[in-house]
Amino acid sequence: MEPQIIDHYNELPHSINVIDKMNEELSEAQKETNKLKEELEKYKMMNLYIPKINITLINKEQYIDYMELFDEIKENIRNHLYIYKENGLIADEEYDLKKACENSCKLVEILFNGLNDRGANLNISREWCEYRIDNALDKFKSLVKLQNYWWENMIKDSICNDIIEMIIEEIIDGNDYEIKLYECLRIKCDKCNHVFTIEGGDIIDEKKWICWDCSECSDS
């Protein structure tokens, strides 16, 4: 890089400042790359212990039925979890999280039967359902242990419903390294012919399933 007039007034040539700036940007890029590599390795390690789940391709005629199916499964899980909400000794309501965790087999049955019975034909294994329920409840077991050292139930009144909804979210959506429940279904966009998860678009004019990208292009 040729010298510039401004270099006459600076202690260091302008080119040195440019190189320093480039080195800083390179350093930041390398840090980001290393962070992504660590995340990828963590993801790979997590996947070693996650049972495989079947992916089913559906058509637009089945779309609403499966959306209603997932809503029904979610509601059945919610109804079961509400069984462990009871009248409290020092509060209006308390939640027996320990008993909910101990009876996880009931939740497995709800999830497994909902995904496989009555013509759902998703062929989701019991092993996957057991993993999903156990992994969801494991996140709350530290709270159960803490409860043993507390003279009163900490999960009471409005917190009861919050805990229930958090458990449901863990079961339906999983964590950052797990497939969301609705992602076991794929559907083809009637416009671009690419395949998406069922939350990647919607039925348009009751005739076609269109992905969000194609829907935005149509609106613009």
pLDDT in tens, 183-207: 889 999 988 999 888 888 888 877 7
- Note whether 69 and 158 are same-domain residues: yes
- CA atoms within 13 A of residue 84's CA, in its CB half-sphere: 23
Q: Determine the structural domain holding residue 36 and report its residue range.
A: 5-47
**Shared-domain flag, residues 122 and 33:** no
196 lies in some domain: yes
**Residue 67 · residue 201 · CB < 8 Å:** no
Residue 62, number of CB atoms within 10 A of its CB: 16
DSSP 3-state assignment of 153? coil
Answer yes or no: do 119 and 197 share one domain. Answer: no
Q: Is residue 92 part of a domain?
A: yes
Provide the edge-to-edge strand list for the sheet that holds 195-197: 56-58, 185-188, 195-197
Q: Are residues 173 and 208 in the same domain?
A: no
What is the pLDDT confidence band of residue 121, given thresholds at 50, 70 and 90? confident
Identify the residue with better confidence: 191 or 219: 191
Spatial contact of 56 and 187, defined as CB atoms under 8 Å apart: no
Of residues 188 and 88, more confidence is placed in 188
Same domain, 125 and 144: yes
Residues 80 and 179 in one domain: yes
Using a cut of 0.75, tell me whether the model's pTM lies above it: no
Question: Is residue 55 in a domain?
Answer: no
Buried b / exposed e along 107-141 (16+ C-beta atoms within 10 A)? bbebbbebbbeeebebebeeebbbbbbebbbeebe
Indicate whether 146 and 109 sit together in one domain. Answer: yes
Residues 96 and 157 reside in one and the same domain: yes
